[in-house]
Every structure is written in structure tokens, then in C-alpha cells.
């Protein structure tokens, strides 16, 4: 519940311009001890999705278990670095109180203290355990949403603009009701400011489609051989459709900058 529902609503709230909405997002993320997700998602993921600078874009042939271990460290570091760079541009140091990490740390400590007050050591252990399960669900969804999809490298550190075909879409009505249209992920990345009730869907010619909804695809993903059997042919077809001019995909597979064609 905290992973698939709580984080999903936090994700929508953190995209809103009102400070009160972002505070609600921070409280929800503190419940799963993953508060840095807001900075990582807004400052890194949306800007660098489909490039080597985005840790949560799953690489081709990367299995979800290795992806999860890699992302736990990489996303935290990239989020902290992004906030430090933002403060530097304002003439401030990373430890300035404007750094939202102070809020993240404070809220997480309050959650741990609350758990300890309720049930002592076992309360803290239970909070940490549910946080681990919730975060795994979050990163599993990230894995589904961008597996193998990359933006074309233009040279000099530049990539093409984000388009609907850079995220996997899943147009399944019941799960979109449950997940407040999260599965219309192509439009979310194409127009990040668009509220969830207004997100568009796209035909398969414009956005790649997952064969099943997120819950089913998530169950498939935890079995890497089965996942590759389902998804690698789809990635290959996507590459042929959108980038027939690219013949060498090895650098993209490894998460490095290829030479521009």
C-alpha cells in the first residue's frame, strides 16, 4: 500500500506547484524513508531520462535485481548532487537550510522516532521492512517504465528532446484507475506539468506499449529470463521503428555516450 499507492500519490503531489502539495509528498515519502525521491525525480529523472545521467532508466539486458541495487545508491547521490548544484548557482553552500535534504532527514527521523515510540526496536524494524518493500515496488515500476529506451545522442553532451516514444505506455483501464493514470507514462514525460486526469494516451506508432498492465509486468520482471523473452524483441522493434539510422547500439546498452551518427 505504501509503495504502489502511497508513493504513487506522492509522485503526483510533488509535481504540483503548491508548496502544501509538496509537503504532503514529502510526508508520504518519509513514511518509506525515501524522501530524496522528490529531488531525484524532478531534477534528474525528468531532465535526463533515457540518457546515461539518469540512474533509473533501466539499460537493455539489465535485470531488475541488479537495477535495484544500482539505483539505491546512484539515485541518492544524483539527487544530493543536483540539489547542491542548484544551491551553488544561487551562491549558497550545500549545507544551506534551503537544501530540502534537511527537510527529508528531519521527516525521516520523526518517522523513526514515532515508530520507536509506538513499539520500540520492533517498531523501527517494521518501519524499515515496509520501507524496503515499498521502495522495491517504486523502483520496479521505474524499471518497467523505461527499460531499454534511450534518447538519441546528438553530440557535445546533448540529446534529443523527450518524446512520447521514450517511455513505455500501458493503456489498461482498471489499473489506470487504481494508479491514477500512472501507466500513461509516455504523456507524463512528454508533458510533466499535465495533471493526472488529463494525461493522454497514444497509439503504438507514437508510444511503445507494454503487453500487460504494471502488476502483471512487475511479476514477469522479477524473472529475468522471462522478462527478456517478453521485452527484448519489443525493444528491438522500437529501435528499428524510431531509429533505423543507428546501427551500433552497444554504447546505449552499456549506458555510455555513443558517437553521434
Per-residue pLDDT tens for 113-163?
999 999 999 999 999 999 999 999 999 999 999 999 999 999 988 999 999
**Which residue, among 159, 173, 133, 165, has the nearest Cα to 146 in the 3D structure?**
165
pLDDT of 70 above 70? yes
Rounded CA-CA distance 125/119 in Å is: 9
Residues in the chain: 261
Cβ-based neighbours of 26, under 8 Å, separated by 6 or more: 14, 35, 38, 100, 103, 104, 107
182-202 tens-digit pLDDT? 999 999 999 998 999 999 989
How high is the pLDDT of residue 254? 86
Q: What is the pLDDT of residue 121?
A: 96
For the chain, percent of residues with pLDDT exceeding 90: 87
What's the pLDDT at 261? Answer: 65
Q: Is pLDDT at 112 greater than 90 in this prediction?
A: yes
What pLDDT, in 10s, does the model give residues 207-248? 999 999 999 999 999 999 999 999 999 999 999 999 999 989
pLDDT of residue 134: 97
The whole-angstrom separation of Cα 149 and Cα 253 is: 9
Is 37:136 a contact under the CB 8 Å cutoff? no
Give me the pLDDT at residue 176, please: 87
Q: How confident is the model at residue 23 (pLDDT cuts 50, 70, 90)?
A: very high
Rounded to an integer, the average pLDDT of 101-124 is: 97
pLDDT band of 20, cuts 50, 70, 90: very high
CA dist list (Å): 20 to 9, 53, 102, 145, 219: 14, 30, 17, 28, 35
Task: Give the integer Cα–Cα distance in Å for 122 and 126.
Answer: 6
pLDDT for residue 186 = 95
> What pLDDT, on a 0 to 100 scale, did the predictor assign at position 178?
85
Please give the grid coordinates belonging to residue 113: 522516532
d(CA 161, CA 48): 10
Residue 27 · residue 55 · CB < 8 Å: no
214 closest CA partner among 133, 131, 138, 150: 138
d(CA 250, CA 132): 33
% of residues, the chain, pLDDT over 70: 100
Query: How far from each other are the two terminal CA atoms of the chain, in whole angstroms?
Result: 46
Q: What pTM, to 2 d.p., does this model score?
A: 0.94
Amino acid at each position: 500500500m505504501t509503495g504502489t499507492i502511497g508513493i504513487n500519490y506522492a509522485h503526483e503531489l510533488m509535481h504540483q506547484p503548491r508548496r502544501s502539495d509538496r509537503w504532503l509528498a514529502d510526508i508520504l515519502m518519509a513514511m518509506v524513508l525515501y524522501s530524496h525521491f522528490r529531488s531525484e525525480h524532478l531534477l534528474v529523472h525528468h531532465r535526463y531520462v533515457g540518457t546515461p545521467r539518469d540512474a533509473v532508466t533501466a539499460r537493455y539486458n539489465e535485470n531488475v535485481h541488479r537495477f535495484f541495487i544500482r539505483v539505491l545508491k546512484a539515485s541518492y547521490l544524483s539527487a544530493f548532487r543536483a540539489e547542491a548544484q542548484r544551491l551553488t548557482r544561487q551562491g549558497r553552500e550545500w549545507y544551506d537550510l534551503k537544501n530540502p535534504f534537511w527537510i527529508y532527514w528531519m521527516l525521516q527521523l520523526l518517522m523513526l522516532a514515532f515508530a520507536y515510540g509506538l513499539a520500540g526496536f520492533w517498531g523501527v524494524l517494521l518501519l524499515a521492512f515496509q520501507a524496503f518493500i515499498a521502495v522495491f515496488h517504486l523502483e520496479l515500476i521505474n524499471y518497467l517504465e523505461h527499460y531499454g529506451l534511450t534518447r538519441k545522442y546528438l553530440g557535445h553532451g546533448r540529446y534529443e528532446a523527450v518524446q512520447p516514444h521514450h517511455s513505455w505506455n500501458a493503456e489498461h483501464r482498471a489499473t489506470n484507475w487504481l494508479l491514477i493514470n500512472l501507466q500513461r507514462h509516455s504523456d507524463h514525460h512528454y508533458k510533466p506539468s499535465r495533471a493526472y486526469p488529463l494525461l493522454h494516451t497514444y497509439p503504438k506508432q507514437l508510444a511503445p506499449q507494454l503487453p500487460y498492465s504494471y502488476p502483471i509486468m512487475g511479476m514477469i520482471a522479477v524473472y529475468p529470463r522471462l522478462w527478456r523473452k517478453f521485452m527484448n524483441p519489443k525493444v528491438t522493434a522500437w529501435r528499428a521503428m524510431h531509429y533505423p539510422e543507428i546501427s551500433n547500439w552497444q554504447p546505449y546498452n552499456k549506458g555510455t555516450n555513443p558517437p553521434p551518427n
